[in-house]
Structure 1
């Protein structure tokens, strides 16, 4: 199978984040096993989703991980020109959900496996494919904790998120949370006997806006746009009718932190303001929705030099989106981003990747294989 056949098969799996992924994980497992890779499925605690780890070459020697996620975002937008889960070629463009983010990288990695197997690698190349990346990098921590049982400590991790095949050394960290306020319903004519959850939430929202403004004053990291950490209220919902005192209100918050700043710490003042409302009789629930640390690979790291040689371009300092790379780095592994496609095409109707981007990714992985065979 060539890279286009493989991408066609992968896109056909509607592997939306948060859903069972046995079909896609099982297909990849069989493909790799048939081509001589040592493959391990790693079920997550959810019971119906698994990570996958595979090794080509000797597992007891330090090598490199090619990291990607099998899940995609939903594709319910009516603007799709064709079925999102059927690969549609149109010239250089290959349309379908996940083509760029990030089944294109998976397809390129899988397509190169037979060539890697023929090289009789002295250093291994591992494939680490995760689940539920799109809802907060929930799957990969369960994979990372198993790495000591699966292989020698890797020399580096290449996370194949879409970067136009330009290596990237950094990204911001993220923390997202949902605060729910429970009050007491009643007729709107008697506000004195109810507890208005929306009114209470306005204090939490004000705290979030205040913290967002404070963050614009630094600290700064000029590698990013914007150069400071940020916080926003993204979704708010509550109430049933204008003449009913709302007994419930929810607010979803997101913080993005420059390297060196704990993303969760940016939400601390907002959480404190919410919890203070309990003194007024409200019930407060705070739930973490997602969290991952920033990535900051030093410019002089050997992994950065390697990717510069493999791609022919010096790595970029940073991108605005987040990836699983920060979690690998937090676990003590050097990590870098480099993959086919453009993040600007992701998470929207008529997502596509270019055929030339897939072949460029294959060439990069083949070049890595040649290094590992030397």
Structure 2
């Protein structure tokens, strides 16, 4: 059985740190917590779980802080988590089996990151990350924020998930990091332009976000998955600016890079549904449903756009097209994911009355 060091960076996480550590501390052989300047009870809570609590002067660079936390690891593999992450019970069982069976030749194990959930427990955002890495390979963190590990070698894709359950969100923190980067005159990579666009979008600077996404798309460098998502996110910005023509153009632009993603297909359906062109809208929603799940996908995946969401919209489209049986069938599909959704329940009651 391999040995594992948990490495974390924390700051003012008293509300969530114990929850995180309770879910993982018995799965690992060592817990290293690096505090970057807490003023609450974070350090005291950390010391209830480990005597390996260290301190790091915050420089504004997450990659440097994460690398500092890795420097304290002494076991064969390093697992990293954020304080508002947890490992749920099903994934704890999978993790234990992985630890028992892992071939020491493996350099990294990727795991799902379930970065968001809706009120019904459905995952809203999922992607893969190199989560358990061999310490001796000395893999390095890259990026000022939205960091990633530069990993090579033998990588195994597991079905284990780390679940993110935040209770607060620093909306402008990452945006300020990128703005400081610009003020210093630091060069931006294609990846920087993508994530800067995301931060601008989240802070409702839609026109600026569009320009940043365009810079990402125009560059010949960068990950193709980021370019696909840049097109889709750019379309959202155009929608917020009430520019429907450019919204649709941006969505179709995403097709240039790879096969259509359900996130784009459902949004195209939305465009035609808003125009009350229901048959065309239904076509695009049907394509979204037919897109199979890709469990090897590393980029952002929003499962709603191939599951309950297009089914719920198809219910509406077929209702107005006069096909009540199809409307009911798709509403029932949506109900599998959102059994108490008031829109789904309203549709069910209405359609049952009309079909009686």
What is the TM-score with the length of structure 1 in the denominator? 0.26
Please identify which structure carries the higher helix content. Answer: 2
TM-score by length of 2: 0.27
Decide which structure has greater strand share.
1
